[in-house]
């Protein structure tokens, strides 16, 4: 049996032991941002089956246009593409950076590990403006 199946089975066994009075929220950040909400002894699916789709929650009505039709969705501030945009912006301001135009995600993480100033600045901005406040818009100005 593949390790991923074993982990899945362990997860199922673990989650079934959680009392139904507990609310469990799991948030995953990657290409977007999403959540799983476990409450009342079951995983919430919602009427349309999209419970936990928090990435398209509007956090800035003047934010950038989103593909979903709204503006300023959370995913524009907290996601891997947002982090890449922060890094691209910092790359142009740091002359000693190892990041080259068109850098990849793995190159960005390698630069972070190597202590690159542009990558570190992007990480700082992402950490501070992405989750706590959004004075800086990494996905472009609102129109």
Residues that bind Zn ion (CB under 5 A): 56, 66, 68, 70, 73
Residue 36, SS3 per DSSP: strand
DSSP assignment string, 14-26? HHHTS-TT--EEE
Quickly count: other Cβ atoms within 10 Å of residue 73's Cβ: 26
- Of 73 and 78, nearer to Zn ion (C-beta) is 73
CB 69 to Zn ion: min, Å: 7
- In the complex, the smallest distance separating the C-beta of residue 70 from Zn ion, rounded to whole angstroms, is 5
Q: At closest approach, how far in Å is the CB of 29 from Zn ion?
A: 15
Nearer to Zn ion, 54 or 119 (CB): 54
Tokens standing for 7? 């982990």
Which CB, 39 or 70, lies closer to Zn ion?
70
| Separation between Cα atoms, residue 36 and residue 93, nearest integer Å | 38
């Amino acid at each position: 049996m593949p390790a991923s199946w074993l982990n899945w089975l362990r997860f199922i066994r673990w989650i079934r032991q959680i009392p139904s009075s507990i609310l469990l929220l799991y948030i995953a950040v990657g290409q977007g941002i999403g959540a799983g909400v476990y409450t009342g002894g079951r995983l919430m699916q919602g009427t349309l089956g999209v419970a936990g789709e928090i990435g398209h929650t509007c956090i800035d009505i003047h934010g950038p246009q989103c593909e979903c039709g709204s503006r300023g969705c959370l995913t524009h501030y907290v996601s891997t593409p947002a982090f890449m945009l922060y890094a691209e912006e910092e790359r142009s301001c740091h002359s000693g950076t190892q990041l080259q135009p068109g850098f990849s995600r793995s190159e960005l993480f390698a630069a972070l590990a190597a202590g690159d100033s542009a990558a570190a600045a992007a990480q700082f901005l992402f950490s501070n403006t992405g989750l706590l406040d959004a004075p800086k818009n990494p996905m472009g100005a609102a129109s």
